[in-house]
Amino acid sequence: MSGAIGFVGLGQMGMPMLANLAAKGRTIRAFDLSEPARVSAAALDNVQVAGTILELARETDVLILMLPDSTVVDRLLWNEGVADALRPGSLIVDMGSSHPMNTRANARRLAALGVGLVDAPVSGGVKRAVSATLSIMIGGETADVEKVRSILSDLGATLVHVGASGSGHAIKALNNFVSASGMAATCEALAAAERFGIDPSIANQVFNSSTGKNNTTENKVEAFMLNGRFDSGFAMSLMCKDLRTARSLMQAIDAKHAFADCCTRLWEAAESALPRGADHTALYRYVGRDAANDD
């Protein structure tokens, strides 16, 4: 789809995604509540910063959102006038990890205004946002998805059209439930190995050459946990939000969710115990490193 592109939400993920679109020669109008984010965006070639989100909405054909959650998305659309400001025929691409049930409802309400909605959340973290190799899972009408496919291709290495509206957000929440479960199991296992007298780095090497290997053991243990950095760029509060989304989706559709309950409780306990703003990799501080040292 040709036409003006707007981009709202210039945080850990949104800023490198915006930079990649701009580097591909696309002209983009951007907006964020944060002044420092607006200043950084304004320094990019091909990016103009809008004065307000409504000004941006009135002038865009494709409005990309990379916002924290459905509460923010819904408020912008329905309480702050963005849905009414969009022109009929325009499209919203919600790339944040919103709630699939809210997304379905938004798609219906927006369709009545002649506005399309594609949900296109991402996986891969800041590293793959920077390298434009994100995994992008897409929900929505095929015609709408095709209109934004080339934009999404500039951001990701893998694009999968999962199904109807909300399907991208559903599979994203379920993916993060699987990922959070792997991280929780890895942290508990590393802490137990350490208590037994095994160097956690050696324990992780064994996992990586054995059946315990997972995304945490491969990409997070050495890079963000054992070195005490805890700075992957994905907040613990966002992981907890994703887990609550997965659990409430499973409840709403009457799917079994005993393990999702248990996993969500563990992550929420860690979130309350750790300092505000902690990275999700600091789960190891909660169940792992600190717990192992405090007796």
Residue nearest to ligand NAD (CB): 11
Closest approach, Cβ 242 to ligand NAD, in A, equals 6
Cα distance between residue 263 and residue 180, in whole Å: 8
**Under the rule (CB under 6 A), what is the footprint of ligand NAD?**
8-14, 31-34, 37, 53, 66-69, 72, 76, 96-97, 122-123, 125-126, 233-234, 238
Contact call for residues 106 and 67 (beta carbons, < 8 A):
no
Of the pair 88, 277, the CB lying nearest ligand NAD is at: 277
Closest approach of ligand NAD to the CB of residue 67, in Å: 5
Distances (CA, A) of 8 to 65, 93, 129, 227: 5, 10, 16, 34
Nearer to ligand NAD, 12 or 219 (CB): 12
CB atoms within 10 A of CB 159: 17
Distance in angstroms (rounded) separating the CA atoms of residues 116 and 143: 10
Q: How far is the CB of 81 from ligand NAD (least distance, A)?
A: 12
Q: Least distance to ligand NAD from the beta carbon of 109, Å?
A: 19
Nearer to ligand NAD, 49 or 91 (CB): 49
Name which of 194 and 242 has its Cβ closer to ligand NAD.
242
SS3 category, 90:
coil
Catalytic residue among 24, 127, 147, 172: 172
Which residues, at least 6 apart from 199, have a Cβ–Cβ distance to it below 8 Å? none
241 is catalytic: no
Residue whose CB is less far from ligand NAD, 90 or 98: 98
Query: In whole angstroms, how close is the CB of 195 to ligand NAD at the nearest point?
Result: 30
- What's the first-to-final CA gap in the chain, in angstroms? 60
Q: In angstroms, what is the minimal distance from the CB of 181 to ligand NAD? A: 17
Question: Residue 287: which residues within 8 A CB-CB, separation 6 or more?
Answer: 184, 187, 188, 191, 266, 270
Distance CA 169, CA 137 (A): 8
**Nearest CB to ligand NAD, comparing residues 30 and 193:** 30
Contacts within 8 Å (CB) and 24+ apart, 126-133: 126/12, 126/13, 126/16, 126/232, 126/233, 126/234, 128/157, 129/12, 129/13, 129/16, 129/17, 129/20, 129/155, 130/16, 130/20, 132/20, 132/156, 132/157, 133/157
Q: Is the separation of the CB atoms in 30 and 41 below 8 Å?
A: yes
Query: Catalytic positions, please?
Result: 172
